[in-house]
């Protein structure tokens, strides 16, 4: 395979080329916008499946050294695509050497390396020459708003200027959150999205982010949950604040559950708690799943971890990981 200079693309340009069949053997994704990482990975997965190429996802942050590269697929495969998530350049020379052996240049092998969004390190391994560096930097200002408007118009809707500003503000400008919420447009009859519609349907406030986080954990989608955790931390939100938000969220679950037991309707609960009906419905759904005992036990766990942080028994990031693991274990007990 002839060596070529490293090329640079935006994520959307890379996706466009992949859909046209213009594929490279190594894509290095770097930048804080999780959405752009996801769309390139999705495009490469789709291309590989059409070509009969095996796909293997590797979580680099869970490995002490590189796995074995088994080569270009099996008997009935046309090759292999390795997707390496949460990459950080190893500081240990032996570990780095193991990854240098992993990245084999072969016409039947393809790689997508998604650099951990919290990392400033790059990708220094040069054993594959056909490489493309893909910028996954967040969109800002007019570029961000133009992207959102175009995505909304593709769904046959429009959005007012003030509603667009509100959407950007509530999401912190994170496309990974905005695009998830845009799926709700199919539920909305109005053709023009206003501020009132954003308030009613879009769960983009801190509490709303926990909804998405919770759903990912409860559905066993640890990849999405991990990416959300990284995105939230990268925004500068301290782990202790995330724990406090989860505690507030679970207290809300208990509150709406208790009000429903008293005979309150969803509309009445929304009025009493000053939450919109969409939030109330989501909270009641979680209450029905974990019950009063599960909610109380989770609050007790959060209290113990908060105490541990304050006494120095556990770091705030370890405490966050502990509560996420606890929620996953709760799922196992309920199902």
Residue spans of the domains in the chain: they are: 7-135, 141-201, 206-334
Architecture of the structural domain at 7-135: 3-Layer(aba) Sandwich (3.40)
User: Shortest CA distance to 81 belongs to which of 111, 60, 102?
Assistant: 111
The residue whose two tokens read 């009641």 is 284
Check residue 182 and give its pLDDT.
82
Each of the 335 residues of the chain gets a pLDDT tens digit; together they read: 444 567 889 999 999 999 999 999 999 999 888 889 999 999 999 999 999 999 999 988 778 888 888 776 555 567 899 999 888 888 889 999 999 999 998 889 999 999 987 677 788 888 888 899 999 998 988 999 999 999 999 989 999 998 888 788 767 677 877 887 787 777 778 899 988 777 666 655 545 556 667 777 777 666 666 766 776 666 566 788 778 878 888 888 999 999 998 999 888 888 888 776 767 887 898 899 898 889 999 999 998 998 899 889 999 889 988 988 888 888 765 54
pTM of the model: 0.60
Specify the pLDDT at position 134. Answer: 96
Q: What is the pLDDT of residue 224?
A: 62
Q: What is the second-level CATH architecture of the domain 206-334?
A: Up-down Bundle (1.20)
Q: What are phi and psi of 63, to 5 degrees?
A: -115, 145
Q: So what's the pLDDT on residue 335?
A: 46
Quote the pLDDT of residue 118: 66
Smallest Cα–Cα separation from 252: which of 181, 219, 217, 203?
203
User: Buried (b) or exposed (e) across 56-86, using 16+ Cβ within 10 A?
Assistant: eebebeeeeebeebeebbeeebebbbbbbbb
Question: What CATH number was assigned to the domain covering residues 141-201?
Answer: 1.10.8.60
Q: Is 293 exposed, middle or buried (0-12, 13-18, 19+ CB in 10 A)?
A: exposed
């Amino acid at each position: 395979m002839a060596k070529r200079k490293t090329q640079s693309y935006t994520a959307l340009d890379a996706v466009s080329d992949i859909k046209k069949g213009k594929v490279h053997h190594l894509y290095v994704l770097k930048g804080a916008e999780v959405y752009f990482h996801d769309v390139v990975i999705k495009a490469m997965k789709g291309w590989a499946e059409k070509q009969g190429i095996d796909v293997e996802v590797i979580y680099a942050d869970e490995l002490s050294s590189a796995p074995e590269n088994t080569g270009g697929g099996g008997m009935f495969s046309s090759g292999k695509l390795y997707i390496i998530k949460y990459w950080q350049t190893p500081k240990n020379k032996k570990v780095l050497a193991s990854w240098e052996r992993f990245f084999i240049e072969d016409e039947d092998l393809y790689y997508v390396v998604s650099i951990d969004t919290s990392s400033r390190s790059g990708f220094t391994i040069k054993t594959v020459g056909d490489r493309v560096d893909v910028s996954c930097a967040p969109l800002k200002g007019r570029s961000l708003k133009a992207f959102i408007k175009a995505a909304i118009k593709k769904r046959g809707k429009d959005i007012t200027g003030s509603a667009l500003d509100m959407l950007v503000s509530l999401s912190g400008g994170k496309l990974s959150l905005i695009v998830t919420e845009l799926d709700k447009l199919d539920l909305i009859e109005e053709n023009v999205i206003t501020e009132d519609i954003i308030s009613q349907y879009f769960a983009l406030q801190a509490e709303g982010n926990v909804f998405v986080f919770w759903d990912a954990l409860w559905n066993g989608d640890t990849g999405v949950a991990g990416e959300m955790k990284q995105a939230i931390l990268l925004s500068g939100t301290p782990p202790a604040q995330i724990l406090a938000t989860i505690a507030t969220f679970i207290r809300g679950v208990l509150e709406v559950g208790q009000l429903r037991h008293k005979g309150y309707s969803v509309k009445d609960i929304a009025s009493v708690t000053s939450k919109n009906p969409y939030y109330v419905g989501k909270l009641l759904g979680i209450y029905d799943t974990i019950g009063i005992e599960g909610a109380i036990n989770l609050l007790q766990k959060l209290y113990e971890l908060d105490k541990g942080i304050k006494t120095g028994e556990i770091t705030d990031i370890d405490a966050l990981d502990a509560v996420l693991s606890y929620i996953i274990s709760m799922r196992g007990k309920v199902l």
